[in-house]
Amino acid sequence: MAERGDLSVHDAPDWAVDRPATVLPGIVATRQAPHSLRPLIGFTRDDLLVLGGALLSSTCIGLLLFGRVTPLRGAVGFVIVTFVIFLGVYGLLVSVTERRPAVVNRLMSALMASAALIAGAALTSVILFTLWRGKEALVKTNFYVQDMSAAGPSDPLSSGGIGHAIVGTLIIISIALVLTVPLGIACAVFLNETRHPAARFVRTVVDAMTALPSILAGLFIFATWILILGFQRSALAASFAVSIMMLPITIRSADVVLRLVPGNLREAAAALGASQWRAVWYVVLPTARPGLATAVILGVARGIGETAPVLLTSGYTASLNLNPTKNPTVSLPLAAYEFVRSPQPTLIQRGFATAAVLMVLVLVLFIIARILGGRPAGTLTRRQARRTASRSAKDLARFEAHVAGVR
């Protein structure tokens, strides 16, 4: 900065030599000490040491104080106390070498990181605790194949299982899929491709329906299908209710995916003479296929975990029921809910194991959705690329044969 004051006529062009020189008012250098650039991003060794030291000392102080000075108890209490102390110590240590904005920056970064840490810890804790409490039932084969019709509430884990709930979930979700996938994707196509004046209104209503609490979807089917129309509580009724929950989610994510299909693909199809339905069927939908699959899977992941609608429309049963139109069929989340409502320890274990099975199912679906959705629209897998290339080669051969034939 100090050099600025010395700026004078040294660099002036030749024609300016005779003129009176422009002299900038000199800037008086107030601070002589040259300061190095402040590192803005990344950790230096000092930073790591400060962080580590703060963590260590706050843990020690926390252990020392905890239960003596503070009346908090339990692990959560300890973490809170230690965290508050950590913030103080960390701020203090940073302020030894840094000035205020940098101290605030560090503290805020620590806060943001701990927010992410809380979220991660909660997720890990939920998953691990469920697996841990269900582990004894999870290792038994009969748990996956038998139903609860022969097993009493106090029977050991070696008899009875949730085979009926697994099958029930599959039945309910399959019917719901058959209902929602065509309807949902067709509706998304309607919203995006037809430019119909009603599309805006339909989109608003679908948006509104994502706000529908799941219990109300159940209550609606319970009141109409079961009470007014007089059908039995069944897997079919449950899948109607689940479909009402899945439809808005599927439509909205499919809508977004279709909107991301590049417009020039549609235009290219139209320019090649394709009618609109051909453009949609052969260009738009295949381009968006991975995204649509993700939309459907997200809908399934939501629908599979719904408890309340199934509780109202199908209800609990202890035995396997393969008929979707008659008698209650239990789903995994409902089975877990019913198990843990009993005071029997083995039933509670079964409940956790059921929840764990459900969670693993959702996890698998989720990973599939990630793998499919990770590719942007229009990106081909190696096999698809090969198939497309061979199809193009065949087309080329056909064209050439045609040209040769014309000649």
Partner 1 sequence: MAAITTVHDPTGFEPETSRRDLSARRGRGDRIFYGGAFGAGIIVLSIMVAVGLFLSLEATEALRKTGISFLTTAEWQPDRGVFGIAAVLTGTVMIALVAVSVAMPISMGTALFITEVAPPALRSWLVSAVDLMAAVPSVVYGLWGLYFFQGQVIGVSRWISSWFGWIPIFAVSGADSNNPIADSTVFTASTFIAGLVVALMVMPIQCSIMREVFSQVPLGEREGAFALGATRWGMIRAVALPFGRGGIIGGTMLGLGRALGETIAVLLIISPRFDINFNILEAGSNSVSSLIALRYSESSGFGLSALMAAGLALFAMTLVVNFTASAFIARSRSGASSEA
Site for partner 1 in 130-189 (CB under 8 A): 130, 133, 182-184, 186-187, 189
Q: Does the footprint of partner 1 cover residue 372 (CB under 8 A)? A: no
Cβ at position 265, least distance to partner 1 in Å: 17
Of the two residues 56 and 186, which places its CB atom closer to partner 1 in the complex?
Answer: 186
Q: What would you report as the CA-atom Rg of the chain, rounded to the nearest whole angstrom?
A: 33
Q: What are the backbone angles phi and psi of residue 194, rounded to the nearest 5°?
A: -95, -15
Q: Which one of residues 311, 318, 330, 377 is an interface residue with partner 1 (CB under 8 A)?
A: 311
Could you tell me the end-to-end alpha-carbon distance of the chain, in angstroms, rounded to an integer? 80
CA 140 to CA 161: how far, in whole Å? 9
Q: Does the footprint of partner 1 cover residue 120 (CB under 8 A)? A: yes
| CA distances (Å), origin 38, targets 43, 45, 97, 105 | 12, 14, 12, 13
Query: 4-63: which residues touch partner 1 (CB under 8 A)?
Result: 40-41
Q: Does the footprint of partner 1 cover residue 312 (CB under 8 A)? A: yes
Query: How many residues sit close enough to partner 1 to count as binding (CB under 8 A)?
Result: 107
Token reading at 353: 């194991």
Cβ at position 384, least distance to partner 1 in Å: 24
Q: Which one of residues 49, 198, 268, 393 is an interface residue with partner 1 (CB under 8 A)?
A: 198
Of the two residues 115 and 322, which places its CB atom closer to partner 1 in the complex?
Answer: 115
Q: Which one of residues 17, 116, 271, 404 is an interface residue with partner 1 (CB under 8 A)?
A: 116
Q: Which one of residues 1, 75, 271, 406 is an interface residue with partner 1 (CB under 8 A)?
A: 75
Query: 250-309: which residues touch partner 1 (CB under 8 A)?
Result: 251-253, 256, 273, 275-278, 280, 298, 301-302, 304-308
Q: Which one of residues 5, 60, 156, 207 is an interface residue with partner 1 (CB under 8 A)?
A: 207
Q: Which one of residues 57, 59, 95, 114 is an interface residue with partner 1 (CB under 8 A)?
A: 114
Q: Give the residues across from 222 on adjacent strands.
A: none
Of the two residues 386 and 402, which places its CB atom closer to partner 1 in the complex?
Answer: 402
Binding mask 319-358 for partner 1 (x = CB under 8 A): --------------x--xx--x-------x--xx--x--x
Please choose, out of 46-54, 160-168, 247-255, 317-325, the segment that lies near partner 1 by the rule CB under 8 A: 247-255
Please choose, out of 16-24, 249-257, 284-292, 380-388, the segment that lies near partner 1 by the rule CB under 8 A: 249-257
Q: Does the footprint of partner 1 cover residue 245 (CB under 8 A)? A: no
Q: Give the residues across from 66 on adjacent strands.
A: 70
Q: Which one of residues 65, 87, 216, 380 is an interface residue with partner 1 (CB under 8 A)?
A: 216
| CA distances (Å), origin 88, targets 91, 292, 372, 389 | 5, 49, 45, 63
Please choose, out of 2-10, 99-107, 135-143, 320-328, the segment that lies near partner 1 by the rule CB under 8 A: 99-107
